[in-house]
């Protein structure tokens, strides 16, 4: 299985995406630079909660 990860938004999302990638790679799921070649497309973005 192959995944393609797109990270949008704040620097916290970069950290979250790095964690997702470590988990996926530990499960022997391969990254691909080409979204068309991926079995799974992950878009990591953020939203703001109103306090």
| Predicted confidence (pLDDT) at residue 2 exceeds the cutoff of 70 | yes
Q: Is the pLDDT of residue 51 over 60?
A: no
49 located within any domain: no
List C-alpha distances in Å: 15 to 20, 37, 40: 9, 24, 20
Name the domain count of the chain: 1
Residues spanned by the domain of 24: 2-44
Flag whether 51 is in a domain. no
Q: What is the pLDDT of residue 9?
A: 81
Please indicate, yes or no, if residue 31 is contained in any of the structural domains: yes
Mean pLDDT of 3-14: 90
pTM: 0.82
The Cβ-side half-sphere exposure at 45, using a 13 Å CA radius, reads: 4
């Amino acid at each position: 299985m192959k995944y393609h990860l797109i990270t949008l938004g704040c620097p916290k999302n970069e950290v979250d995406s790095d964690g997702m990638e470590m988990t996926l790679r530990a499960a022997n799921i391969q990254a691909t630079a080409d979204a068309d070649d991926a079995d799974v497309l992950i878009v990591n973005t953020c939203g703001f909660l109103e306090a």
